[in-house]
A and B are shown apart, each in its own frame.
Chain A
C-alpha cells in the first residue's frame, strides 16, 4: 500500500469534520472520494496535503508514519494537489507557472528559455500539450488545469490529488482530462479524485469511497456499484423526483433581444443573445460557468451595460436605467455569490434583510423599524433560518445555507413578477436546498417568471420548464423539460449540435 490513512479524525471545536476515516491508495490506482457539499472530502485532503493537522489518527506513506506541517512537506514527499480554484498567476506564462519554486537559474537570474525547454519535455512525456510561452490568464480552463497538473508533476508528485477537477471544464475537456489520468496511471502515477460527479468517477476510478457527514458510508470497487447505489450512500436516501404542476403561461416578464457584450480580446462575451421569459414558467440556463451567464444576469439586473441589444423587464426597456429603477420595474435577484453581492458581512441580519425593501418601509425618510423587524422575523420563522438569538446578529455568523435562505426570503418577499435565481443553492446543505427549491416552484405556481442559472445540471433539470444552453456567449439550444436529457444538454454545452 502506497498510502494509508487510519482512523483520521478532525475536530473544529465541537464539530467533527472528519470522523475516524480509513482511506488507502495503491501505486497506479485511481481512488475517488465522493460526497455532498459539507461531507468532509476537502478537509480530509487538506490534511494529506499539510494544510491541516489531524486531531487523531495516522497517515503512513510507504509504510512510514508521516506528519506534514505545510504543503511544502507534502510536495517534498511526492504529494501534489490541484485545487478546485486554480492557484495560478494569470499574468505569467505557462512555463513560469510550472517551474515556480524551483526555477532553472544561472547565478540567480531566471533562465526562462531553459524553463520553456523543460516544459516542452514534460509536455511530451506526459502527453499534455501546452505552449510554454502562452500567458496563463488568456488560456482556457482546460489548459490552465493542464498547467496545474504539469506543475505538480514537475515538483515530483507520485500521488496527485484532484479537487473537483471538472467543474469548469466543457464535456470535451472532461474527456481529455479522464484520458490524461488514465495515461498517467499507466506511467505509475496514483490519483485521489474528489468529486460529486458520479458518472465521471465511475468512468475513471478503480475504487470509490463515499463520505457523508464526516464518516465513511461505504468503500466499493468500480465493478460493484452504480450511480444509484453511490447516490444512496452519499445522500442516505433515493433522490426525490419533485412533482411539477403544468405551466400556466402569463405575460412576458423578460425580453432579451440581440444583446452583445464585447470582450477585451476581440472575443464576444455575449454574442447576439435573444430569449424571453413568461410569467408562470421557470427558464433554466444551463452551461459551464464562464460562458457569459454571469455577465448576462448583470446586464439584466442593471449592474453592467451591454454594448448593443435590448432588454425589457415587464414590458419596459431597461436601457440606461440603474438598479433601483429596474427593481422598481418588477425584478428581484438572488445573486450568484452571496458574499460578494448578496449580503453585507459586517451588517446585522436585520440590515441584510432590509436591502431592497428599505425605500418601501419608511415614513418621511425614517425607517419604520417595527414593520422591518416583523417582516424579517416572519422570514426566519417561515424558512427556519438559524440566525442567532436576535436580529442584530452580524450576518457573517450565519452559515452559508442560512444566509442563502435569508437572501432567498428577502428576494421572494419582493413579490415581483420576475425573479433572477443565480446558483440559488450553491454551497447549501440538503435541507436548505429542498426549502429553496420548493419556494421557487411556489413562486412559479403563483404566476411569476423565473430565470434560473445554475452550473448544477440536476438542479436545472429538476426545476426548469424550458432549458436554454449557453456556450461561448451564445444560446446554442433550447429544450423543453420533456425533451431534455443530460446527454443532449451535455452535447450542447460542449458546442456540439
Chain B
C-alpha cells in the first residue's frame, strides 16, 4: 500500500460519515421548514465566519478536547469510561472552591485550582476503576450512574453552603472568582483562553504517550487484547487505575479550565447543559480514539455546535439540528469502521485459513 493511500484511507470513513450526517441534518432542516443551503451557510458563518466566531469555536472546543482526550485514553485501554460528565463537574467545583477560598497570589491560586481540579476528577474516576477491579462492578454502568450522583451533590453545594448570596440573581451558583485568578485570554476581547493551550499540549502529550512510551504500549495492548497483555506481564489492575486516573484528570482539568477561563464561577447545570462531556465522548468515537484525530474531531464537533447556534440566531431552524447531525454521524462511523473490517476479514478467509 503506497504512502498516499495509507494516509487517505483512514480519513475516508470519517468523511463518509460526515456526509451522511449532513444529509440527516438536511432532512431535519427540511422538516423544520428551513432552507437547506441558507441554513448550512449560517452554520459555517457561526463557526468560522470571522475571528470572533473562530475563537469562540475554539473556546468551546477547549473542554470538549480535554474530555475527548481523556475518553480516548480510556477507550484505547479498553475501558468504557462514560463518567466524564461527573469527573468534569467534580473538577469544576473543586477548582471553584480553591479559587474562592485559598489565600495567596493570583497565579498561585490559579495553578493550585487547576491542579486540584484535575486531581479531583482523576480520583473520582479511579474510584470507579477500583470498584471494577476489586469488586467487579461494571465500569460502564457505574461511571454513568456516578455522573448523576456528582452532579446532584454539586447542585446541593451551590444551593446551600457555597451559594452566592450577594447579588439578586437567585441562581444556584458560587460567588464569582476574583479576577486575579482568572485564566488569561489569548487575544484581547476574544473568548479564547489559556485552557486551549492546555488542550493542545494534552493532545500532543497523549500522542507521545501512546506511541512511544512503555506505559502507552501496555495501555494499547490491554485495550486490544487484555488476555494477551496479562499473559505478557502487563498488570491489568494498575493499568485500569492509571488509565482511569489520567482519563478523569483530563475531564477534571476540562471542568477547572471552564471555571477559571470562561465562567469564572460554578453555576449549577451550566457544564451539563452545554453537553461538553457527551460531545467529548462522540469526538473520541469519531476519531477511533487516535490522539490527534480526537482533538481535531473535538474542534469539528464544537464548530458544529457554535454553527448551530448561529443557525438558531439567524434562521427559523432550532440549534438542535447540530445534535442530530452529531449523533447520526456517530452511528455511521461506528458502522463503517467495522464494515470495512469485515470485508478485509472475508478476504483473509479466502486466502488460506479455510482448511
Contacts and interface: CB of A to CB of B under 8 A. Distances in A.
Are A and B in contact, CB atoms below 8 Å, in the complex? yes
B221 A42 contact: no
B354 A43 contact: yes
A365 interface: yes
B217 A358 contact: yes
B214 A365 contact: yes
A42 B349 CA distance: 14
Contacts of A323: 230-235
Interface in B177-215: 212-215
B314 to A, nearest CB: 45
Interface in B328-345: 345
A367 interface: yes
B170 interface: no
B224 A344 contact: yes
Contact of A347 (B215, B221, B227, B235): B221
Contacts of B218: 358
B355 A38 contact: yes
B228 A366 contact: no
B225 interface: yes
A362 B215 CA distance: 11
A346 B214 contact: no
A308 interface: no
A41 interface: yes
A262 to B, nearest CB: 20
Q: How large is the interface on B (under 10, 10 to 19, 20 to 34, 35 or more residues)?
A: 20 to 34
Interface in A57-88: none
A13 B351 contact: yes
B234 A324 contact: yes
B350 interface: yes
A207 interface: no
Nearest to B222: A344
Contacts of B60: none
B355 A355 contact: no
A40 interface: yes
B348 interface: yes
Contact of B350 (A15, A351, A396): A15
A17 B351 CA distance: 9
Contact of A346 (B224, B231, B232, B353): B224
B220 interface: yes
Interface string A26-59: 0000000000011111110000000000000000
A369 to B, nearest CB: 8
Interface residues of B: mostly helix, strand, loop or mixed?
Answer: helix
A137 B225 CA distance: 27
A315 to B, nearest CB: 20
A41 B354 CA distance: 10
Contacts of B224: 344-347
A55 to B, nearest CB: 11
B231 A333 contact: yes
B352 interface: yes
A12 B354 contact: yes
Nearest to B345: A396
B207 to A, nearest CB: 13
A340 B347 CA distance: 21
B217 A15 contact: no
Interface string A358-374: 11001001110100000
Contacts of B212: 366-367, 369
B340 to A, nearest CB: 13
Nearest to B237: A322
Contact of A341 (B227, B234, B353): B227
B233 A327 contact: yes
Q: How large is the interface on A (under 10, 10 to 19, 20 to 34, 35 or more residues)?
A: 35 or more
Contact of B231 (A15, A335, A397): A335
A342 B213 contact: no
Nearest to B350: A12
B355 A341 contact: no
Nearest to A357: B232
A156 interface: no
A71 to B, nearest CB: 17
A358 B354 contact: no
A141 interface: no
B351 A356 contact: no
Contact of B214 (A43, A328, A345, A366): A366
A70 B153 CA distance: 59
B220 A301 contact: no
Nearest to B228: A344
A356 B232 contact: yes
A369 B211 CA distance: 10
A333 B227 CA distance: 13
A460 to B, nearest CB: 23
A470 to B, nearest CB: 22
A471 to B, nearest CB: 27
A345 B232 CA distance: 15
Greatest chain B CB density within 10 A among A333, A344, A400 is at: A344
A328 B221 CA distance: 19
Contacts of A343: 225, 228
A388 to B, nearest CB: 10
A358 B351 contact: no
Contacts of A377: none
Contacts of B352: 12, 15, 38, 399
Contact of A40 (B213, B349, B353, B355): B355
Query: Closest 9 interchain pairs by CB?
Result: A12-B350, A324-B233, A355-B232, A344-B224, A344-B225, A13-B350, A341-B231, A356-B232, A323-B233
Given A366-B212, A367-B214, 20 more contacts: A12-B350, A12-B354, A13-B350, A15-B350, A17-B355, A38-B352, A38-B355, A39-B355, A43-B354, A323-B232, A328-B233, A340-B227, A342-B228, A342-B231, A344-B225, A346-B225, A355-B228, A358-B217, A359-B233, A396-B348
